[in-house]
Amino acid sequence: MRVCFIINLPKQALGGAERQALGIAQILAKRGVDMHFITMSGTDSRGVRSEDGIVVHEAGVARDGRGANFVDYARFTTNLYHAMDEVDADVYYQRSASIVTGLTSLICRIKGIPFVFGSSSIWNATINLKGRIYENSPLDRIGLSSAAYKFGISRASAIVAQTEEIARIFAINFPRVRISHIPPISHPIATKSPKSSPPFVLSISRLIWYRRPELVLSVAKILPEVNFVLAGYGPMSKLIEDGCRNIYNFSYIGRVTPEEAEELMGKAAVYINTSGVEGFPNTLLECASTGTPYVSFYDPDEVICRYSLGLHVHSLTEMRSAVVRLLSDPEARRRMGQNGIEYVKNLHDPEKIGGMYEQLFKDVSTLG
């Protein structure tokens, strides 16, 4: 079976959707699936099978820092069609809501090949269907991005949702499309870092408005006796840099690699997630794998509460109380950390989840 993923490679250090897609593809390749990627970010290994068994193809959009224009998207559509011709896959899988969802679905429909959409956020099942895709593209500016996306998933052979909640919402909106709930995979942790002394509270995020990184500053201000570390990059980097200058218990360290992020999570006493929207955050799995309690405004399928991985909060006041509570109770932190290690091992095993994807792709390729 030949399967092609249409998504950028994880060149951005904090690209959770891209890292998940690459991890799944690597597992499938090990299981004997002929794996290909069509990427839009550029690569130096086009058409070459890498050591992990994946062939990479290119269908990039020229942006030059200004956002794509109609000519760019016409070129991209042609490139995508030719790249899909070149790959000649049995199934195409595209992840994250965008114009590319609609284009991929349309080309698959023309070719009579199954198309599977992978959701990376609860917004994919809700707000992105109602004109709220932000792409800085011509279709976005005339209000057609969400229409293209909705067209694509309404004609998908299957939609993959990372949580039961997202799967339920998709099933309501698209009752004729097969909806599969497949949890994200956990990434193996190379080394276990000892906890730092004195303890610190960590947050790692793409610095963009819906992740609400400014709330980390707010928590640091109301807990001056606690050390906070924020890592990440994005449109709000300058705002964070300016905002933290007079907060002496706060360190902003900028962009980090996945390996550096893993080390920081292992050393942190507590991790806080201030995002208002997620699918299933990679950071939750990474913290669980490193035995670090997780305090978050967003709890996918209430797993933080159900498996006692940390604390689910609903306000800054609750987040402050949660941080104070955990820092004052080393035994609770140890217990939650151990729960996290067991949770990831039992429910996010890469081989088990890779098998779920392989079965789904076999099913839809048989149906055609």
Domains with residue ranges and CATH for the chain? 2-185+349-367 (3.40.50.2000), 200-347 (3.40.50.2000)
- In this structure, are residues 344 and 288 in contact, taking their beta carbons and an 8 Å threshold? yes
Q: How is residue 285 written in tokens?
A: 């799995």
Please tell me the predicted confidence (pLDDT) of residue 128. Answer: 79
Please tell me the predicted confidence (pLDDT) of residue 117. Answer: 97
Considering the chain, what is the average pLDDT of its residues?
88
**What tens digit of pLDDT does each residue of 129-168 get?**
776 665 555 455 545 778 888 999 999 999 999 999 999 9
Q: How is residue 126 written in tokens?
A: 């809700």
Of residues 304, 363, 294, 276, the one with CA closest to residue 333: 294
Whether 182 has a pLDDT exceeding 90, the answer reads: yes
**What tens digit of pLDDT does each residue of 280-309 get?**
999 999 999 999 999 999 999 999 999 999
- Percent of the chain predicted with pLDDT > 70: 88
Please tell me the predicted confidence (pLDDT) of residue 46. Answer: 56
Please tell me the predicted confidence (pLDDT) of residue 15. Answer: 67
**What tens digit of pLDDT does each residue of 238-253 get?**
999 999 988 999 999 9
Of residues 9, 12, 13, 14, the one with CA closest to residue 25: 9
CA-CA distance, 80 to 84, in Å (whole number)?
6
Query: What average pLDDT score do residues 334-355 get?
Result: 95
CA-CA distance, 10 to 187, in Å (whole number)?
14
Kindly give, in sequence order, each residue whose CB lies less than 8 Å from that of residue 364, ignoring residues fewer than 6 positions away.
91, 114, 116, 157, 158, 178
Kindly give, in sequence order, each residue whose CB lies less than 8 Å from that of residue 251, ignoring residues fewer than 6 positions away.
227, 228, 229, 230, 244
Per-residue pLDDT band for 14 (boundaries 50, 70, 90) equals very low
pTM of the model: 0.90
Q: Is the pLDDT higher at 47 or at 149? A: 149
**What tens digit of pLDDT does each residue of 51-72 get?**
678 898 888 764 444 455 667 7
